[in-house]
Amino acid sequence: MAELVRIAGGDDIFPERAIEPLAKARILEDAAEVVRRAPDIILGSWCGKKFRPERVAARAGWKEIPAVRDGELHEIKSPIILQPGPAALTDGVTRIAAIVQAWDARQAG
């Protein structure tokens, strides 16, 4: 995912976790670290579950995050980024890039 975000023009706020080979090493022990790193955009994607931005926004302390404050919580459908094959590099990057570009345009305007 971090690589797709970079290709699409965004910055991963946890680049040190992206290089971890095991998924369990990429799990945050302290969700408050997201608050401290203050992302401008949050992308959500869960296999078999719908992304619920209102649940993400309701987490303790998360109202302070720019992405939550500004309504920049976006679902990326799991089939276009989480399955093996070219969809992640075509559909997934295209969707992420559209989100990043729209956010960038709002900042410039």
For residue range 50-102, list pLDDT tens digits in order.
899 999 999 999 999 999 999 999 999 888 887 777 777 788 899 999 999 99
Q: How does 35-64 read in b/e, with b if 16+ C-beta sit within 10 Å?
A: beeebbbbbbbeeeeebebeebbeeeebee
The mean of the pLDDT values for the chain is 90
Beta bridge partners of 74: 43
Name the CATH code of domain 2-108 (choices 3.40.50.1980, 3.30.2010.20, 3.60.15.10, 3.40.50.300): 3.40.50.1980
Domain segments of the chain: what residues?
Answer: 2-108
Residue 100: per-residue pLDDT: 97
Residue 61: per-residue pLDDT: 94
Q: Does 34 score more than 90 pLDDT?
A: yes
Q: Does 18 score more than 90 pLDDT?
A: no
Residue 81: per-residue pLDDT: 83
Query: What type of residue is 1?
Result: M
